[in-house]
Amino acid sequence: MTGDQLNVVLLGAPGSGKGTQAERVGPAFGLPHISTGDMLRAALAAGTPLGLEAKRYMEAGELVPDEVVVGIIRERLADDDARRGFLVDGFPRTLEQARALDAMLTDAGRALTDVVLIDVPEEELVQRLSGRRLCRGCGKGYHTVFDPPRQEGACNVCGGELYQRADDNEETVRNRLQVYRRQTEPLVGYYSERGVLKAVSGGGRMPDDVFADLRRVLAGGTST
Ligand code: AMP
């Protein structure tokens, strides 16, 4: 039974802040943060067969095949820490993935409790993604204009080197946004019809304010 579990999907375009918010929401609600993008990047860095298979899709800003990501999620959701609730970010990204997720949860006697869309206007997404920088040491995110590090190229927290994700260059960013519109946006209708969709506004707002809205929505409040 789902009971008082929170089985949550964060939905939103690349650059909408899903990852940043998931890092806050996960600990606040005691939910493991599950990111298919992070798992695929880890596989790529480790040079596993999965990473090698995913590489060309990721570098082009295309989606990794459904059966691959569905397999990763199926395994991850069976882990002990995900059995009493989870927060997934970056999955599902296609209707087929959404149907597969519903089916695997139904088989386990569970269901999604909340799908929260973080809504950000397109122009802002391009700006955010192309200025994004990450720390090689601890993974902390920065933005060259909106949230620069104190010392250029170095992490405030651990001093690690900052780098740009290979798929955050402007051309790939535009392709990722197109892929989002074509393949992922239909999920808004899918989840809305099922009565689990909520939305928070993520445009032109500070991460703390978006987090406050997410907190309220997940605690049973209404969308912004
Ligand atoms: P993200 O970090 O969520 O932006 O994901 C980075 C890249 O990983 C995407 O552009 C895709 O190539 C791949 N990826 C991550 N999650 C998925 C997914 N659910 N379905 C297909 N590809 C994915």
38: in domain: no
| Within a domain: 174 | yes
The pTM is what?
Answer: 0.91
- Cα of 22 to ligand 1 centre, how many Å? 15
144: CATH: 3.40.50.300
Burial string for 39-70 (b: 16+ CB within 10 Å, else e) reads bbbebbeeeeebbeebbebbeebebbebeebb
pLDDT at 152 over 70: yes
Residue 1 banded pLDDT, cuts 50, 70, 90 = very low
Model confidence over 26-62: pLDDT tens digits? 999 999 999 999 999 999 999 999 999 999 999 999 9
Q: Is the pLDDT of residue 162 over 70?
A: yes
Residue positions annotated with a catalytic role = 18, 93, 132, 165, 176
Q: Which two tokens stand for residue 112?
A: 């999604």
Q: Does the beta carbon of 34 sit less than 6 angstroms from any atom of ligand 1?
A: no
Strand partners, 85: 6
198 has pLDDT over 70 = yes
Say yes or no: CB of residue 180 within 6 Å of ligand 1: no
pLDDT value for 3: 60
Domain count, the chain: 1
Q: Is 76 in the pocket of ligand 1 (CB under 6 A)?
A: no
Burial of 223 (0-12, 13-18, 19+ CB in 10 A): middle
Instruction: Measure the CA dihedral 87/71/194/222, to 10°.
Output: 10
pLDDT of residue 25: 96
Per-residue model confidence as pLDDT tens digits over 111-121 = 999 999 999 99
> Measured from the CB, is residue 91 less than 6 Å from ligand 1?
yes
Note the pLDDT of residue 39.
96
Q: Which two tokens stand for residue 29?
A: 């609600």
Per-residue pLDDT at 221 exceeds 80? no
- C-alpha dihedral sign at 92, 94, 96, 102: positive
In a domain, 69, yes or no: no
| Residue at 131 is within a domain | yes
pLDDT in tens, 124-145: 999 999 999 999 999 898 999 9
Return the best residue to mutate from 35, 93, 134 for the ligand 1 pocket (most ligand atoms within 8 A of CB).
93
In a domain, 145, yes or no: yes
Q: What separation in angstroms does the CA of 68 have from each of 32, 36, 116, 178, 199?
A: 21, 10, 24, 21, 28
Contact predicate 198/115, CB 8 Å: yes
What pLDDT is recorded for position 4?
Answer: 79
Q: Is residue 40 part of a domain?
A: no
Per the domain annotation, does 58 fall within a domain? no
Which structural domain, as residue segments, surrounds residue 163?
A: 6-32+79-218
Does 61 sit in the ligand 1 pocket, CB within 6 Å?
A: yes
Predicted confidence (pLDDT) at residue 154 exceeds the cutoff of 70: yes
| Ligand 1, atom 1: closest residue by C-alpha | 37
Q: Flag whether 152 is in a domain.
A: yes
AA identity, residue 192: S
